[in-house]
Structure 1
Amino acid sequence: MDFLTGKLKSLYFKYLAAAFGSALVTSIYSIVDMAIVGQYQGPEGTAALAVVAPIWNIIFSLGLLMGIGGSIIVSTLKGQRETNHQYENEYFSTALIGSFCLSAIMWFILIFFDKELFLFFGAKGNLLTLAQTYIIPIQFVVPCFLFTQMLAAFLRNDNAPTLATIGVLAGGVFNIFGDYFFVFTLDMGIFGAGLATAIGAVISCLVMISHFFTKTNTLHFVKPTALINQMKKIVVTGFSTFFIDIAMGILTILFNRQIMKYLGSDALSVYGIIVNVSTFVQCCAYSVGQAAQPIISTNYGAKLGLRIKETLKYALYTVIFFSLFWTCLTLFVPNLFVRFFMTPTKEILSIAPNIMRMYGLSFLLLPFNIFSTYYFQALLRPKDSFVISVARGLVVSGILIYILPLINVNYLWLTMPFTELVVAVYALVHMIQCNKTLINV
């Protein structure tokens, strides 16, 4: 599979299918858990998983930090044909070491400070008890979640996108059936959902590790010659993708607090649904970025600007499709999501449509904004990617989340639509400028 001479349309859509499968099933972990727990425990179970949601954002974002940051550099080096595999493997090894260190930190925090975390995330009373019960089995396998994200990124860049998809799919399928079996058949409740998720993560990780025993594998652990400098480059390159996920966790915390302050637990239950739908939309955007990134990075290293522009065209068409699809679903059938994720009360059915429609307007621009961070990263323009991710994930959204409720409490749900609009203008202007600088070889 040659990124430099192969037919771009076939390459892109092959990688898109693999990346979409991985992203789709990754989102299933939280979505299926919330749906099953919501049906078993009711709105309170959904609200408890909304409290847990930031933990997934943190763990997955750390995996993306090492995986995307390292794999982009490796792809660019491959495009510069004069480099050797030893140098590429040094970056892979550095990313692997970084992943081990970050896994150890997260493992320690989740085992010894889970209560403090959930209280900080907005849990109270029975919500705290439910959240702690859910996380018990997950505490044993925390590194598997981080390594799944990191390994998937490197496998896609090592011509093994299908195996990355199979790995995530295997864990996701187990999670779907395991959730139902443990929660309902064995009557384990929310603990069973956590158990199924934990086992699914182990399965995914083991499948991906099998790549290192194949003949096609080019990734090998070597001793890095400049560990600190290489780690800095990986962090700088991968930071924007990392911050997209970490920012979603930060925003979830801020929303949780504002919702409980102004609107109460019923609104928090609806927001729990929004978090999962938004995760799904983000995963679709991730798949576009992850499909285009290795192609763009490799061709950027080889200075093949026309191939980059053609890949961008296919990516933008895909982004438009996802944007229209998710926006229309949210606007026209909002209660479809409500009934899927929980057994709703009359009160929730009455407030959910308006909340879902207002927040759902953000889905019109969300896929483009997320893809743009991957695009700028692939072209080694971390500054543009950084501005987009930080403005979207913290600065603009963080300001609006506190200002808008002061005008009208229901305007809280317009925080993300306004944020995505501001960010999209910046991303579009800089994408056009960037395209003009590409060398058309």
Structure 2
Amino acid sequence: MKQVNLLEDPVNKLFARYLLPSISATMVTSIYIVADTLMIGRGVGAIGIAALNILLPLFSLFFATGMLFGAGGGILLSVSKGKMNDLAANQYYTAAFLMAVVMSTVYTVLGHVLFTPVTRFLGSNETMGPYVEEYGRILISGAPAFLFSSFYQVFVRNDKAPRVSMTAVVSGGVFNIILDYILIFPMNMGMAGAAAATVTGSALTLVILLTHLVSKENTLRFVAGAKIGQAAEVVKNGISSFLLDMCNGVVTFLFNRQILSIAGEMGVVVYGIISNSSYIASSVNNGISQAVQPILATNFGAGKKARLTKVRQLAERTASVSGAVFAVTGFLFPALVTEAFVRPDPEILAMSVPAIRIYFLSFAAMGMNILYTTWFQSVMEPGNALKICLLRGILLNSFLVFLLPVFMGITGVWTVMPVTEVITFAACRIMLKKQEL
């Protein structure tokens, strides 16, 4: 097979080569969560979906931490390779790996010790409590599998093996769906079965990713001499990827608390449907961005700036089409989106149809905002990437989710994300216009 040359091969061909594997790889979070939601909705009931939605911020935390070290180290690895400095590339990989080991251990230990106060803070109540306990304990035990599957997706892809990432995620996702069905229905294991299937599927994804490390194509090596400064660079460059993945978790937490106070548990069920759809949309858009990330970072490291604009414009067109498809789907077929997850009663359907139509408008701008985050990371401007993530993931949401419901009630909650994404998009274009490469 011809060796991929990120510095010389035509941009269109490189993008096409990376696009499907990257989208498949970034779909790992949504595959597991959506599969669990579908099976729990049919096999456990609406309260099971509400309990799962309470725990979604923990999913986001585990995967986001993998991206913190994976994207932060992976981009620096690609830039170093563009500069023909293989030693520095592997020092970044080593530093990122060691930090990932530490954090996966911390999450597992503290997650069990502080389980009850953490889940109560996230919104668990007496009705949902047993379901949250049953699913959450197993989820936390799987934290290392979630974190390292996210971590190695980026490094394997940056080591010019995007198809390995795709194979790993598709295999783990399919296995998760099959095991979900077996454990929830024939074996009647309920929430515990769903959690066990999710952890097992993620572990399978990780095992397949690790096969790259023993292949002939592998260039990832653990080396001595990784410095504290390099570890700090990994965190600095990866923090925006961490926040990008944590956006869903932060939004889910804030929305759950507000919706519980305004519309009760049925409102959380409706938001569970919406947040699962949001995971799918953000995964596709993340995949588009991750497809161009190795190309951008390597060419930036080599000083080939003319190719950078071509790559970005190609990704912009793709993200625009993706956003339009998601927005139109939600506007035209809100009832079908609802029925995909639960057998809705009239109360749920009456609330979900207008909610989906409003919320899905945010997907039109979401892809562009995610792309611009990756763009600024790849050209070594992590400060601008961080601004974008803070703006759309924390600042605007935290303000609007409390402001808009005062004037619009529950409709105000569904309106938060469209307003947030549009304002963020405007800010991104201003940053891009001011940029000097």
TM-score by length of 1: 0.96
Partner of 1:393: 393
Q: 2:48 aligns with which of 38, 45, 48?
A: 45
Paired with 2:203 and 2:154, the residues of 1 have a C-alpha distance of 17
Task: Quote how far apart the aligned CAs of 1:242 are.
Answer: 0.4
Task: Quote how far apart the aligned CAs of 1:336 are.
Answer: 1.2
Task: Quote how far apart the aligned CAs of 1:195 are.
Answer: 0.9
SS in 2 for 1:263: helix
Name the aligned partner's letter for residue 150 of structure 1.
F
Task: Quote how far apart the aligned CAs of 1:13 are.
Answer: 1.2
User: In 1, are the aligned partners of 2:156 and 2:165 still within 8 Å (CA)?
Assistant: yes
Partner of 1:421: 422
1:186-217 per-residue CA deviation (whole Å, 9 max, x = no partner) reads 11111111111011111111111111111111
Partner of 1:383: 383
Partner of 1:285: 285
Name the aligned partner's letter for residue 404 of structure 1.
L
Partner of 1:334: 334
Moved over 6 A (4+): none
Q: Considering only aligned residues, what root-mean-square deviation do their CA atoms show, in Å?
A: 1.1
Percent identical among aligned pairs is 31
User: In 2, are the aligned partners of 1:359 and 1:414 still within 8 Å (CA)?
Assistant: yes
Paired with 1:171 and 1:289, the residues of 2 have a C-alpha distance of 22
SS in 1 for 2:246: helix
Matched, 1:147 2:148: yes
User: In 2, are the aligned partners of 1:53 and 1:249 still within 8 Å (CA)?
Assistant: yes
Partner of 2:14: 11
Paired with 2:226 and 2:145, the residues of 1 have a C-alpha distance of 27
Name the aligned partner's letter for residue 365 of structure 2.
L
SS in 2 for 1:370: helix
User: In 1, are the aligned partners of 2:335 and 2:353 still within 8 Å (CA)?
Assistant: yes
Partner of 2:101: 100
Task: Quote how far apart the aligned CAs of 1:72 are.
Answer: 0.4
Partner of 1:212: 213
Matched, 1:55 2:58: yes
1:237-288 per-residue CA deviation (whole Å, 9 max, x = no partner) reads 0111101222321221111110011111111100001111011111011101
Task: Quote how far apart the aligned CAs of 1:363 are.
Answer: 0.9
Partner of 2:199: 198
Matched, 1:307 2:325: no
Paired with 1:161 and 1:129, the residues of 2 have a C-alpha distance of 40
Q: Which runs of 5+ in 1 are unaligned?
A: none
Partner of 1:230: 230
Paired with 1:139 and 1:365, the residues of 2 have a C-alpha distance of 33
Task: Quote how far apart the aligned CAs of 1:407 are.
Answer: 1.2
Task: Quote how far apart the aligned CAs of 1:19 are.
Answer: 0.4
Paired with 2:140 and 2:391, the residues of 1 have a C-alpha distance of 32
User: In 1, are the aligned partners of 2:107 and 2:140 still within 8 Å (CA)?
Assistant: no
Q: 2:35 aligns with which of 29, 32, 38?
A: 32
User: In 1, are the aligned partners of 2:330 and 2:356 still within 8 Å (CA)?
Assistant: yes
Task: Quote how far apart the aligned CAs of 1:182 are.
Answer: 0.6
1:353-387 per-residue CA deviation (whole Å, 9 max, x = no partner) reads 01111111111111111111011000011111011
Name the aligned partner's letter for residue 86 of structure 1.
L
Task: Quote how far apart the aligned CAs of 1:311 are.
Answer: 0.7
Name the aligned partner's letter for residue 9 of structure 1.
N
Q: Which runs of 5+ in 2 are unaligned?
A: none
User: In 2, are the aligned partners of 1:115 and 1:128 still within 8 Å (CA)?
Assistant: no
User: In 1, are the aligned partners of 2:299 and 2:307 still within 8 Å (CA)?
Assistant: yes
User: In 2, are the aligned partners of 1:26 and 1:168 still within 8 Å (CA)?
Assistant: no
Greater alpha carbon shift after TM alignment, 425-434 vs 264-273? 425-434
Paired with 2:70 and 2:253, the residues of 1 have a C-alpha distance of 25
User: In 1, are the aligned partners of 2:273 and 2:341 still within 8 Å (CA)?
Assistant: yes
User: In 2, are the aligned partners of 1:93 and 1:224 still within 8 Å (CA)?
Assistant: no
Paired with 1:206 and 1:274, the residues of 2 have a C-alpha distance of 31
Give the length in aligned residue pairs: 433
Task: Quote how far apart the aligned CAs of 1:140 are.
Answer: 3.0
Paired with 1:248 and 1:351, the residues of 2 have a C-alpha distance of 21
